[in-house]
Amino acid sequence: MWASNAVSSGRRLAWAVLLGVAFAGLVPSARADEAADLAERAAQVATRFPDLFERGATGRVNGVTPAAAKRLLQTIQAGKAADPEIQALAVAYETLANLPGPVNAFQARRLLSDGVAAAVASGDKATLDRVTTLLEGYLDDRAHVYAPLARDLLSQKVRCGAAASGDAALMERISRRLDAGGEAFGATDGDVADRYGLHAAADLFRVAARDQRVVATGYFGTVVVSQDEGRSWATPATGTDEPLLAVALGPGQELWAAGRNGVVLRSEDGGATFVRRPTPFRRHLFGVLAPSPGTALVVGDFGLQLATSDGGARWACIPRDEDVILNGARPAAGDAALVGEFGTVDRMTGLGPPLLRGRLSGVPDDVYLTDVWFSADGRTGVAVGIAGTLLRSTDGGASWTPVAAGFDTDLYGVGGSGDLVAVAGDGGFVAVSHDAGASFVRPTLPAIPAPLLGVAFSSPERGYVVGMRGLVLATRDGGASFERVR
């Protein structure tokens, strides 16, 4: 792409020789053979991409030209990258990685990660195969400085791209290379089953409610179901003992649960029976959303985002740039609201890109968010996190500001209906808002010296909070008081 620049072949050859000399002394501590190899490859790259590298007055390479790197990434994302482009990406990455200073090391990792993300976003199998071959080359020397990053990128981004394109052969290739213990395409269905049996007092992590139905999930594969607003409870067999960390009610009688090791369960009879739906990854799942029949989005570790439209028979992996832990997925007027570590609070259009990244103000950039709720019209949102983090948005999640609620308790759950919003957290903490999260008051509730983790409302009058040792609290007076119903 840049070979068409107005540079004569003679000047280009001279520049390549000069660049090779500059690379030869790039890092004194590097092994001579590695430095020589990098110098030779850099000279080759320079003949095709003469503006890729920055150099000082002495000709010494001191970086990568941002504009040229951006064009390279655009070529990869367009699915037009052949071997020269992938070689240029590798040499640019290794150049930065070998320059002194933590900033260069960070930029090197970001460049390679962005290059792999671009290959995944291209949807082009040939491009993804070339990037896979590049990363496998770094893995050939297990002691190589680039090997750990290559392993992470193969495990997280490239395998996600392979799953998204349905490339089972590439999934299996990566799994064999990483010795992933069964993370082949569609293999994970929760291998721990019926080891402990049902536990009446298993910790409950999340809850969902609609009309008279209330469903909560927790440890040991536990699902508890009430069809009468919490007055009586059933504990159906789920076929797994993996902790179930998320739950969602779909249309009609449909119900989804997800949890540890990529386990996903689906019920079509309101929670009486469950079927496990295999997913492509053994990564913990912390959020699930079920907006239409047979359709679900699950999110979790390493930025994993999986979607299905056929009841879980097949999953599409939705790549994202940042491999952050995603702790929750909630509905937002037809979209999906996602929260996680490092201040992540995104709004996904439907069940796929693009992502609207919320702008946070008044809180640290690395704040850890645990749950989110949106009003029915998708305009007002409340997000919660550790150390009393309580954020509010009134523009559909584009921007978020702190709510001065006057408490610093770790918060784990939020839910609401209409203008009523409740948050729950450590030490049996509950606070309620009657103005869509603008202010909060403490309700009357039993003394509970244990964390409360999940919140859901079926109406502005009726809501539920769940927590440790199988505890379920219910309010039937709009959050003025809560009583123990399980």
Asked whether residue 29 carries a pLDDT value surpassing 90, the answer given is no
* The predicted structure's pLDDT at residue 33: 67
What are the start-end ranges of the E strands in 320-368?
A: 326-332, 335-340, 345-348, 355-357, 359-360
Question: 429 in a domain, yes or no?
Answer: yes
Question: 401 in a domain, yes or no?
Answer: yes
Given a contact cutoff of 8 angstroms between Cβ atoms, the answer to whether 171 and 185 are in contact is yes
Among the candidates 162, 178, 194, a domain finishes at 178
Instruction: State the Cα–Cα distance between residues 332 and 330, nearest whole angstrom.
Output: 7
Stretch 417-424: mean pLDDT: 97
Question: 4 in a domain, yes or no?
Answer: no
The three-point CA angle 33-38-42 to 5° equals 150
Given a contact cutoff of 8 angstroms between Cβ atoms, the answer to whether 350 and 359 are in contact is no
Length of the chain: 486
* The predicted structure's pLDDT at residue 179: 66
* Poorest-pLDDT segment among 140-144, 173-177, 406-410, 462-466: 140-144
The three-point CA angle 134-135-137 to 5° equals 70
Does residue 280 sit in the same domain as residue 148?
no
Does residue 375 sit in the same domain as residue 448?
yes
In DSSP terms, 335 is beta-bridged to: 332
Does residue 456 sit in the same domain as residue 355?
yes
The three-point CA angle 472-217-464 to 5° equals 30
* The predicted structure's pLDDT at residue 187: 41
Question: 41 in a domain, yes or no?
Answer: yes
Give the pLDDT band of residue 10 (cuts 50, 70, 90): very low
Question: 194 in a domain, yes or no?
Answer: no
Among the candidates 161, 178, 195, a domain finishes at 178
Please name the residues in contact with 161: beta carbons below 8 A apart, sequence gap of 6 or more: 119, 120, 123, 128, 167, 317, 319
- What CATH number corresponds to the domain at position 439? 2.130.10.10
Please name the residues in contact with 420: beta carbons below 8 A apart, sequence gap of 6 or more: 432, 433, 434, 457, 460, 463, 478, 479
Higher pLDDT among residues 354 and 131, named by residue = 131
Does residue 229 sit in the same domain as residue 171?
no
Does residue 282 sit in the same domain as residue 417?
yes
Asked whether residue 486 carries a pLDDT value surpassing 50, the answer given is yes
Asked whether residue 476 carries a pLDDT value surpassing 50, the answer given is yes
In DSSP terms, 365 is beta-bridged to: none
116-125 pLDDT tens trace: 988 988 888 8
Instruction: State the Cα–Cα distance between residues 336 and 247, nearest whole angstrom.
Output: 15
436-469 pLDDT tens trace: 999 999 999 888 888 999 999 999 999 999 999 9
* The predicted structure's pLDDT at residue 198: 59
* The predicted structure's pLDDT at residue 317: 83
**Residue range of the domain that includes 101:** 9-178
Higher pLDDT among residues 245 and 96, named by residue = 245
Among the candidates 160, 178, 196, a domain finishes at 178
Give the pLDDT band of residue 14 (cuts 50, 70, 90): very low
- Strand-strand pairing, 285-289 and 296-300: antiparallel
Does residue 21 sit in the same domain as residue 103?
yes
192-231 pLDDT tens trace: 444 455 567 889 999 999 999 999 999 999 999 999 999 9
Does residue 213 sit in the same domain as residue 76?
no
Instruction: State the Cα–Cα distance between residues 459 and 456, nearest whole angstrom.
Output: 9
What is the pTM for the complete model shown? Answer: 0.76
Given a contact cutoff of 8 angstroms between Cβ atoms, the answer to whether 440 and 479 are in contact is no
- Measured CA distances, 162 to 28, 87, 169, 260, 283 (Å): 39, 21, 8, 22, 16
* The predicted structure's pLDDT at residue 421: 97
344-379 pLDDT tens trace: 999 998 877 778 899 999 999 899 999 999 999 999
Question: 188 in a domain, yes or no?
Answer: no
Token pair belonging to 179? 């010795």
* Poorest-pLDDT segment among 37-46, 151-160, 420-429: 37-46
Asked whether residue 30 carries a pLDDT value surpassing 80, the answer given is no
Stretch 75-87: mean pLDDT: 91
What are the φ/ψ torsions at residue 388 (nearest 5 degrees)? 70, 20
Does residue 270 sit in the same domain as residue 410?
yes
- Strand-strand pairing, 399-402 and 359-360: parallel
Give the pLDDT band of residue 31 (cuts 50, 70, 90): low
Higher pLDDT among residues 63 and 259, named by residue = 259
Given a contact cutoff of 8 angstroms between Cβ atoms, the answer to whether 336 and 351 are in contact is yes
Does residue 167 sit in the same domain as residue 230?
no
* The predicted structure's pLDDT at residue 59: 67
- Residue 67: count other Cβ atoms within 10 Å of its Cβ: 10
Count of domains in the chain?
A: 2
Question: 189 in a domain, yes or no?
Answer: no
Chain centroid, CA 46 distance in Å: 37
Given a contact cutoff of 8 angstroms between Cβ atoms, the answer to whether 219 and 263 are in contact is no
* Poorest-pLDDT segment among 60-64, 289-293, 430-434, 447-451: 60-64
Stretch 41-65: mean pLDDT: 80
- Please list the alpha-helical segments (H only) found in 99-226: 102-122, 125-139, 147-153, 159-165, 168-178
* The predicted structure's pLDDT at residue 188: 45
Q: What's the whole-number average pLDDT of the chain? A: 85
Asked whether residue 180 carries a pLDDT value surpassing 70, the answer given is no
Higher pLDDT among residues 30 and 454, named by residue = 454
Question: 98 in a domain, yes or no?
Answer: yes
Does residue 52 sit in the same domain as residue 117?
yes
